[in-house]
Chain A
Amino acid sequence: MPMRIIGKTSIDFIGLRRISFYLSAFLVLAGLYSLVMIFSGRGNLGIEFAGGTMVQGNFDSPVEIGEMRRVMSEAGFDDATIQELQRDVANSYVIRTRAAPGKDVKIGMQIEDALRAAFPDNEFHLDSIHEVGPAIGKELRQDAGLAILVSLVGILLYIALRFDFRFGVAATIATFHDVMTVLAVVYFLDKEITILVISALLTLAGYSLTDTVVVFDRIRENLKKLRRKSQFVDGVNLSINDVLSRTVITSLTSLLVVVVLFIAGGEVLRDFAMALICGIVIGTYSSVFVASPVYVEWENRRPRRFK
Chain B
Amino acid sequence: MQRRVTWVWVLIAVLLSGSAYALWPTIRIAAMDDARRQAAEEKDPAAWMRLKRKAIKLGLDLRGGMRVVMEVDKSKLNPAEAKDAVDRAKEIIRNRVDQFGVSEPLIQKQGQDRIVIELPGITDVRRAQELIGRTAQLEFKLLEPRENVQRILDRIDLVLEARDTTRREPVPEEEDIFDIFSDTIARADTAQLVDVPGDITAELAPPPIGERPFTTLLEPVGNWFRVVREDAAWIRRWLEDPDVRTEIPPDVQVAWGSKTGYAGGLAVEYLYFLKSNVELSGKYLTDAQPSFDQFRKPVVNFTLTRAGGRIFARVTGANIGKSLAIVLDDRVVSAPEIQSRIPDRGQITLGGSDYEEAADLAIVLRAGALPAPVNIIESNVIGPSLGADSIKKGLTSVMIGISLVLLFMLFYYRLSGAIADLALLMNIIFLMAVMATLHATLTMPGIAGIILTVGISVDANVLILERIREELRTGKTVRASIDAGYKRALVAIVDAHITTLITALALFMFGTGPIKGFAVTLAWGVGISLFTAYVITKAIFDLRKGYKTLSI
Number of A-B contacts defined by CB within 8 Å: 218
Residues of A within 8 A of B129 (CB): 106
Whether the pair B126, A199 counts as a contact (CB closer than 8 A) is no
Residues of B within 8 A of A56 (CB): 386
In whole angstroms, what is the CA distance A246 to B462 when docked? 7
Tell me if A115 is interfacial: C-beta within 8 Å of chain B: no
CB distance from A120 to the nearest CB of B (A): 19
Whether the pair B125, A2 counts as a contact (CB closer than 8 A) is no
Interface 1/0s, chain A 248-272, versus B by CB < 8 A? 0110111011101101111011001
Residues of A within 8 A of B455 (CB): 253-254, 256-258
Tell me if B458 is interfacial: C-beta within 8 Å of chain A: yes
Tell me if B165 is interfacial: C-beta within 8 Å of chain A: no
Tell me if A126 is interfacial: C-beta within 8 Å of chain B: yes
- Which partner residue on chain B sits nearest A113 by CB separation? B126
A residues 259-292 with Cβ under 8 Å of B?
260-261, 263-266, 268-269, 272-273, 276
CB distance from A143 to the nearest CB of B (A): 4
Q: Among the listed A106, A253, A266, which residue makes an inter-chain contact with B393, where contact means beta carbons less than 8 Å apart?
A: A266
- Which partner residue on chain A sits nearest B508 by CB separation? A147
Tell me if B382 is interfacial: C-beta within 8 Å of chain A: yes
In whole angstroms, what is the CA distance A261 to B453 when docked? 13
Residues of B within 8 A of A245 (CB): 466
A residues 194-212 with Cβ under 8 Å of B?
195-196, 199, 202-203, 205-207, 209-210
Tell me if B404 is interfacial: C-beta within 8 Å of chain A: yes
Tell me if B412 is interfacial: C-beta within 8 Å of chain A: yes
Q: Among the listed B381, B412, B448, B463, which residue makes an inter-chain contact with A214, where contact means beta carbons less than 8 Å apart?
A: B463
Whether the pair A199, B412 counts as a contact (CB closer than 8 A) is no
Whether the pair A136, B377 counts as a contact (CB closer than 8 A) is yes
Whether the pair A261, B515 counts as a contact (CB closer than 8 A) is no
Whether the pair A103, B375 counts as a contact (CB closer than 8 A) is yes
Whether the pair A256, B506 counts as a contact (CB closer than 8 A) is no
Tell me if B385 is interfacial: C-beta within 8 Å of chain A: yes
B residues 202-232 with Cβ under 8 Å of A?
none
Tell me if B379 is interfacial: C-beta within 8 Å of chain A: yes
In whole angstroms, what is the CA distance A136 to B411 when docked? 50
In whole angstroms, what is the CA distance A185 to B125 when docked? 37
Q: Among the listed B382, B495, B510, which residue makes an inter-chain contact with A144, where contact means beta carbons less than 8 Å apart?
A: B510
In whole angstroms, what is the CA distance A56 to B405 when docked? 34
Q: What is the size category of the interface that chain B forms with chain A?
A: 35 or more
Whether the pair B379, A131 counts as a contact (CB closer than 8 A) is yes
Q: What is the size category of the interface that chain A forms with chain B?
A: 35 or more
Whether the pair A130, B405 counts as a contact (CB closer than 8 A) is no
Residues of B within 8 A of A129 (CB): 125, 379-381
Residues of A within 8 A of B447 (CB): 265, 269
Residue from B126, B401, B496, B507 whose CB has the most chain A CB atoms within 10 Å: B507
Whether the pair A128, B386 counts as a contact (CB closer than 8 A) is yes
Whether the pair A210, B499 counts as a contact (CB closer than 8 A) is yes
CB distance from A263 to the nearest CB of B (A): 8
Residues of A within 8 A of B49 (CB): none
Residues of B within 8 A of A155 (CB): 499, 502-503
A residues 124-177 with Cβ under 8 Å of B?
125-133, 135-136, 140, 143-144, 146-148, 150-151, 154-155, 158, 162
- Which partner residue on chain A sits nearest B133 by CB separation? A104
Q: Among the listed B385, B389, B462, B506, which residue makes an inter-chain contact with A151, where contact means beta carbons less than 8 Å apart?
A: B506
Residues in A lying within 8 Å of B, measured CB to CB: 2-3, 5, 56-57, 89, 101-103, 106, 108-109, 125-133, 135-136, 140, 143-144, 146-148, 150-151, 154-155, 158, 162, 195-196, 199, 202-203, 205-207, 209-210, 213-214, 217, 242, 245-246, 249-250, 252-254, 256-258, 260-261, 263-266, 268-269, 272-273, 276
Jot down 26 A-B pairs with beta carbons below 8 A, ordered by A.
A2-B412, A127-B386, A129-B125, A133-B375, A144-B510, A146-B510, A151-B507, A154-B503, A158-B502, A195-B515, A196-B515, A199-B519, A203-B522, A205-B499, A206-B500, A209-B495, A210-B492, A250-B462, A254-B455, A256-B455, A257-B455, A260-B397, A266-B389, A268-B390, A269-B448, A272-B448
Q: Top 8 A-B pairs ranked by shortest CB distance?
A: A266-B393, A210-B496, A154-B502, A133-B377, A257-B401, A206-B499, A254-B455, A151-B506
Residues in B lying within 8 Å of A, measured CB to CB: 61, 69, 71, 125-126, 129, 375-383, 385-386, 389-390, 393-394, 396-397, 400-402, 404-405, 408-409, 411-414, 444-445, 447-448, 451-452, 454-456, 458-459, 462-463, 466-467, 469-470, 491-492, 495-496, 498-500, 502-503, 505-507, 509-512, 514-515, 518-519, 522, 552
Additional 7 contacts, C-beta under 8 A, given A129-B125, A140-B512, A154-B502: A5-B412, A103-B375, A106-B379, A144-B510, A246-B462, A257-B402, A266-B444
